[in-house]
Each structure stands twice: as C-alpha cells, then as structure tokens.
Amino acid sequence: KAGVTQTPRYLIKTRGQQVTLSCSPISGHRSVSWYQQTPGQGLQFLFEYFSETQRNKGNFPGRFSGRQFSNSRSEMNVSTLELGDSALYLCASRKTHYNEQFFGPGTRLTVL
C-alpha cells in the first residue's frame, strides 16, 4: 500500500507570495492533518480535515488555510508569506479521527 505523498518536496518562495502544498493520503484514509515543524517551535498542529470538513484547528493565523477534496486529497495554502513561515510542512492521514496517524515526508518551504 502506498504511503502518504506530499508535493512538492522542496519549495522556495519570497516574502509576500502565496503557496499551495498538496497531500495525497493513504488509500481509504478519510482524515488528513497538517503540521508545521520548525527548529524553534517543534511540531505544531495546523488543522485536520475529515470528509471535506475542517474538524480541528490549531493556533495559526488566518493566512494558513486548507481544504479537502472528495477523494480525500488535501491542499494547504499560505498567503502573504513571511520569513517565519520557513518550515517543514507535514501531512498525516488516518482512517478515521480515532486511529493512529501516518505521516508523509513533508514539504520543505523556504521563504526568502
């Protein structure tokens, strides 16, 4: 069974731009969560989607948004990028919101 895939793996943007990251969950998994990982703050929860609805949300500004499609694939968007948004963005999927999560390899975003 294929694991969680994230595209692109690496991305370089400049301040003020916007970016869209994509996540394809494991087949049959209906829940997708997004996390931001930085050396200073560690792994921080962004939001979770289940059946196209946002179910949980972390403490991030409105510049961070996401959505989930009917095939469970998810996208995360960050608008008006700031230098502090440079991070590894991880996506995780699970069958339901009560199961263990399976993480993808992440997208490394660098904001210049």
Partner 1 sequence: DAKTTQPNSMESNEEEPVHLPCNHSTISGTDYIHWYRQLPSQGPEYVIHGLTSNVNNRMASLAIAEDRKSSTLILHRATLRDAAVYYCILSYLNQAGTALIFGKGTTLSVSS
Question: Using CB under 8 A as the criterion, which residues of the chain lie in contact with partner 1 when the complex forms?
Answer: 4, 31, 33, 35, 42-45, 48, 50, 55-56, 90, 92, 96-98, 100-106
Residue 66 or 106: which CB sits closer to partner 1? 106
**Measured from the CB of residue 31, what is the shortest distance to partner 1 in angstroms?**
7
**Measured from the CB of residue 14, what is the shortest distance to partner 1 in angstroms?**
25
The residue whose two tokens read 């793996």 is 9
Residue 19 or 107: which CB sits closer to partner 1? 107
Residue 15 or 55: which CB sits closer to partner 1? 55
3-state SS of the chain? Answer: CCCCEEECCEEEECCCCCEEEEEECCCCCCEEEEEEEECCCEEEEEEEEECCEEEEECCCCCCEEEEECCCCCEEEEECCCCHHHCEEEEEEEECCCCCCCEECCCEEEEEC
**Measured from the CB of residue 53, what is the shortest distance to partner 1 in angstroms?**
9
**Measured from the CB of residue 35, what is the shortest distance to partner 1 in angstroms?**
8
